[in-house]
Chains A and B, each alone.
Chain A
Amino acid sequence: MSARDRILAKLKAATPASAGELPDVAGWYATHRGEESTADKARRFRHFIELAHAEVYAVSRGGWLQKLYEVLSAKQIDKLLVAPGTPHGARAQSELPPLGIACPSYEQPIESWKAVMFNDTPASFTAARGAIAETGTLILWPTPEEPRLMSLVPPVHIVLLDATRIYNTFFEAMQAEGWKNGLPTNSLLVSGPSKTADIQQTLAYGAHGPKELVVLMIGDEQ
């Protein structure tokens, strides 16, 4: 018998006859979490993610690029990793270089340029799939066009979020979008810049991931 068969045999010998009803997760959320307007969700999202040291800027659907430029200028960043296969990445790549910001693309598999990613990529720009109000959380689903390391390795990560995509809870997000029917290679919840309190319970930002997280939140047209 293999280890697998031995473990399963031991467990099966003791398995209760019935596991009972499925836990009523939906019922708990229905009684403990209410509906909210987009504006309220945006406000709560912003409150919590700012508590976690992220910067949030309200932007308009047409005007986010200007804010992106301002943020980069203020941080004296002249190089931004973008995903040109996405509409926002393509726009950044076409409009930022004339303003003096280089926009290299994530086009090759990481193996061919890992050292550059780790050592010479000061910032990156991606979109969020959505967000969660009650915890101030961004939902990221990296794609072949916008790969995983973009939101992890560069010290500054700038994220474009559509405020109409903010859910009240994590549960609501996964239910509304039917996540159980198929998850991507990697899906992420990100709730601020990287941090640690491992030294004497003192909070320090920029442990291993981004030191700064900037959210450009597209709200109503201004």
Chain B
Amino acid sequence: MHSRSAYPTDVYFFATCVVDQFFPGAGMDAITLLERQGIRVHFPEEQTCCGQPAYSSGFPDEARKVAALQLTLFPNDWPVVVPSGSCAGMMKHHYPTLFANDPARKAAAEKLSTRVYELTQFLVEVLNFKPEDCGSDCTVVLHTSCSARREMGVHLTGRKLLGDLDKVRVAQQDHESECCGFGGTFSVKQPEISGAMVEDKVKALKATGAERVVSADCGCLMNILGHAAWKDQQEGRTTPSLPGEHIATFLLRRTAKENAQ
């Protein structure tokens, strides 16, 4: 089993379907960030999706089918790093119960479960990564996904990484721990409620005056940035009132030596 005390040489990178298709830049930046710490990053090409969309929508058979594929992709005893708290939470906490009636896969899921890390958790808890700030003064606001916070319990690691950046001020938004309203298919099945939640979330983020929002979850970003952009269109703004990016992208840019002034 992977030991936390040893500094890993190799990791698997599980990108998630959202990063692969919608936020590939965030995935690249996460990989680069890991490589800069002297780690070989392996990207199993057969990876697709953790299966959470089907699982949380009430289609466990379909989720199992997709999850079963991912179970086969990480044969070596390396950490599996996931740039999303919610997909990491799916693999770590729900795979073992999803395969409760399939002893072989259940055992595999339980083994995998001990090796799954959310990216910021991995950077802080395993690599003890302390980013050195090469950028200029700026204020950001951090949104942490509900899965990272309540399922993975890693809501403090992203905050710690940002806190280590000398010239970055992290603003505090109102109702920080409240859900942004994404919730996968919830955003489509209950658009009124989800819409009200993201509206309030974006208002709270903007009210901090931060120049951008960062998050370790692309699902939340898709929702938050999508609403902010829609609002900009509605109100005739041409520059985004709330830009945002994955925390990996932000960290990589802040720590890039070429940014040093």
Taking the complex as a whole, does A directly touch B, i.e. does some CB pair lie under 8 Å apart? no
Residues of A within 8 A of B (CB): none
